[in-house]
Structure 1
Amino acid sequence: MTIEVRSIKSGEGPALLAMTRALAESHGFLDKYTATAEDLERALFASDPIVGCLLAFCDGEPAGCAFWHRSFTTARGCEVMYLEDLSVLPAYQRRGIGLALLQRLAVEARDRGFPSIYWLSMGWNEKAQALYDKTGATCDEGMRFYRLADAALIRLAGAKS
């Protein structure tokens, strides 16, 4: 078995779409998934992209991805990397692909001068948490993730202060 991890290339949006859709489906979010392969490629290959993506291949077949974007921390006064999605297709799980993606992502962060990588994990996803623990990542147990989206965002935007 050969695992290769590299930056996504133009034209590979459909493979990325399949992986991110599989992740949304496994997390119960497929009803909110509206991205297209074209949307993903447009963001990735913009003139000054704020996002990046690594693809993992197992024996030459697309097997997983790590989709990230730039963020900023005022506490350190610099950009950091935010891992939006780490996805390994079900047929390729438990083969070291997730760890290979995280290792290559760490190289990418280091080479870009980012001092850290942040991400969220679903509380029920014990397999993912075991992988993250294996890397030495720590979990900020006291943190909560909030999202303001769709109708709530529009409602708040229209509220008079």
Structure 2
Amino acid sequence: MEINLKLRPAALDDVGKLFGLIQALAEYEKLAHAVTGSVEALQEHLFGSHPYVEAIIAEYDGETAGFALFFPNYSTFLTQPGIYLEDLFVLPKYRRQGIGKEILGYLAKLTVERGYGRLEWSVLDWNSDAITFYERMGAEVLPDWRICRVTGESLNKLSIFL
């Protein structure tokens, strides 16, 4: 059975679809209330004068099936840049068809082609299906690391701390 899957860098006319996928991801993670951004901000951050992120669109039989959004990071221990995968999402009706595996493979190849030292991401601890999938793909889930985040008013307070 031939899979009609196409992975490609996001284009300017994909921004609306991409934002819709971000909203679908937030709903899946029960975090729809946390989406406070806009299509316009996403467009600026992907394609503006100073792009901050990159995205890949997955199309299955000509339909948008998923995406990955990522940006460069840096490892002081490796003294090499890397790719941080912020989000990988495949719409439920397209799951279990190898799309997530293909997206990770695409990003791994991109990481190697750029001469980067690692590809990394976070996964929610309750998402056992994703954890199992990532481990099958060769990822090491680091149990002793926790994400620290400062946003909103806490970020404002910290910015004037000193």
Same fold (TM over 0.5): yes
- Give the corresponding residue for 1:118: 120
* Mapping for residues 97-136 of structure 1, pairs under 5 Å: 97-136=99-138
Question: How big is the shift at 1:141?
Answer: 1.0
Tell me, what secondary structure is at the counterpart of 2:13? coil
Q: 5+ unaligned residues in a row in structure 2: which ranges?
A: none
Question: How big is the shift at 1:11?
Answer: 0.8
Question: How big is the shift at 1:50?
Answer: 3.4
Quick one: which amino acid aligns to residue 143 of structure 1?
W
The verdict on how the C-alpha distance between 1:50 and 1:110 changes in structure 2, with shifts beyond 3 A counting, is farther
Rounded to whole Å, the distance in 2 between the matches of 1:87 and 1:97 is 10
The verdict on how the C-alpha distance between 1:157 and 1:47 changes in structure 2, with shifts beyond 3 A counting, is closer
Alpha-carbon RMSD across the aligned residues, in angstroms, is: 1.4
Query: 2:61 aligned with 1:59, yes or no?
Result: yes
- Give the corresponding residue for 1:149: 151
Rounded to whole Å, the distance in 2 between the matches of 1:87 and 1:35 is 18
Superposed CA deviations along residues 75-114 of structure 1, whole A, max 9, x for unmatched, are 1112111000001112211111111111111111111111
Q: What is the TM-score with the length of structure 1 in the denominator?
A: 0.93
Quick one: which amino acid aligns to residue 34 of structure 2?
K
| 8 Å contact from structure 2 (residues 71, 85) kept in 1 | yes
Rounded to whole Å, the distance in 2 between the matches of 1:51 and 1:156 is 25
Tell me, what secondary structure is at the counterpart of 2:41? helix
Tell me, what secondary structure is at the counterpart of 2:144? coil
Rounded to whole Å, the distance in 2 between the matches of 1:101 and 1:65 is 8
* Mapping for residues 20-99 of structure 1, pairs under 5 Å: 20-99=22-101
Q: Which runs of 4+ in 1 moved over 4 A?
A: none
Question: How big is the shift at 1:126?
Answer: 1.1
Question: How big is the shift at 1:157?
Answer: 2.1
Question: How big is the shift at 1:137?
Answer: 0.8
Question: How big is the shift at 1:158?
Answer: 2.9
Question: How big is the shift at 1:156?
Answer: 2.1
Rounded to whole Å, the distance in 2 between the matches of 1:41 and 1:109 is 23
Q: What is the TM-score with the length of structure 2 in the denominator?
A: 0.92
Identity of aligned residues (%): 32
